[in-house]
Amino acid sequence: MTKVSQPHENQHEPKHRHPEREHDLHRNPHDLPDYLQRLEGSEREAWQKPDEVVSELGLRPGNVAAEAGAGPGYFSLRLARAVGPEGHVFAADVEPRMLEALCERLVAARIGNVTPVLSLAGDPLLPPSSCDLALIVNSFHHFPDGKGYLRRLQRALKPGGRIVNIDFFEGELAVGPSPEHKLSRDAFLRMATEAGLALESEKTFLPYQYFLILRPR
Ligand SMILES: C[S@@+](CC[C@H](N)C(=O)[O-])C[C@H]1O[C@@H](n2cnc3c(N)ncnc32)[C@H](O)[C@@H]1O
């Protein structure tokens, strides 16, 4: 398969390089400007289909949404527009440099309904019972304690709230992390079930990612 320019972590590192030395503790590459360009670049749109994704989330004006592992806000800014000025978004990330980039983008886009949240690796640190929806995109495979994280994320949901996880399919793909860093759909679902979540529905229009909508049981 032909590899297109990488929107995510580096894969297929040349043999003389040492990828583990080129990433921080949370697997973000040290070359942040290059990484931000890959996360936010326009070539991502063709396969990420961000507008379709956000439309499938069914958010309404006035809703409160969170993004865990928000990065520089590719989805958080779109969530902010979907919930409108009466709504709110918590954009949580463990990496201060990501939140700095997010803040710059919020100012440039004149978006005032997003609160950046500096999280712990194992806890998004979101206000309890505050969110209609918590979204995770291409990030869950980074979380060191996935099951514990999902338990803590559930506490941030309002009654009836949902968690959505979108992450890369297993195996070698044209985009995304190398196979050993991924978490398969089935492995994620097992973890989510153990964390007390049930699969409500699944969307299948993304070419490289599973898209799972879950609710607390
Ligand atoms: C591949 S980026 C995805 C960013 C964004 N969701 C997107 O779709 O563009 C992964 C993000 O997860 C964050 N991250 C890694 N480990 C994390 C953790 N334990 N808790 C919260 N965020 C984490 C990284 O700092 C990075 O911003």
Residue 121: inside a domain, yes or no?
Answer: yes
Residue 163: inside a domain, yes or no?
Answer: yes
Residue 185 CB coordination number (10 Å):
18
Instruction: Determine which residue's CA is closest to atom 23 belonging to ligand 1.
Output: 69
Q: State how far the Cα of 77 lies from the Cα of 9, in Å rounded to an integer.
A: 21
Q: Where are the beta strands (DSSP E) in 71-208?
A: 88-93, 114-118, 131-137, 157-168, 197-203
Whole-number Å distance, alpha carbon 27 to ligand 1 midpoint, is 9
Q: Count the helices and strands in the chain (H runs, E runs).
A: 7, 7
Residue 37: inside a domain, yes or no?
Answer: no
Residue 118: inside a domain, yes or no?
Answer: yes
Indicate which CATH number applies to the domain containing 100.
Answer: 3.40.50.150
Domain that holds residue 177: 48-216
The secondary structure element, H or E, covering residue 194 is helix 185-194
Which pTM value belongs to this model? 0.90
Q: How many separate domains does the chain show? A: 1
pLDDT over threshold 70, residue 4: no
pLDDT over threshold 50, residue 67: yes
Residue 19: inside a domain, yes or no?
Answer: no
- Determine the atom of ligand 1 nearest the C-alpha atom of 39: 9
Amino acid (1-letter code) at residue 168: F
Residue among 145, 137, 132, 151 nearest 196 (CA): 151
Cα separations in angstroms, 125 against 97, 108, 117, 166, 214: 18, 26, 7, 21, 20
Confidence at residue 22, expressed as pLDDT on a 0 to 100 scale: 61
- Determine the atom of ligand 1 nearest the C-alpha atom of 143: 19
Residue 197: inside a domain, yes or no?
Answer: yes
Residue 102: inside a domain, yes or no?
Answer: yes
Mean pLDDT across 106-129? 98
Six-digit token string for 20: 């583990």
Whole-number Å distance, alpha carbon 92 to ligand 1 midpoint, is 9
Ligand 1 pocket by C-beta < 6 Å: which residues? 8, 26, 28, 39, 68-71, 74-75, 93-95, 98, 119, 121, 137-139, 142-143
pLDDT over threshold 90, residue 44: yes
Mean pLDDT across 45-64? 98
Residue 39: inside a domain, yes or no?
Answer: no
The region that residue 116 occupies, defined by phi over 0 for left and psi between -120 and 50 for alpha, beta otherwise, is beta
Q: Cβ neighbours of residue 69 under 8 Å, at least 6 residues apart?
A: 92, 93, 94, 136, 137, 138, 139, 140, 142, 143
Mean pLDDT across 104-112? 97
Q: What is the pLDDT of residues 165-216, one digit of tens each?
A: 999 999 999 999 999 999 999 999 999 999 999 999 999 999 999 999 999 9
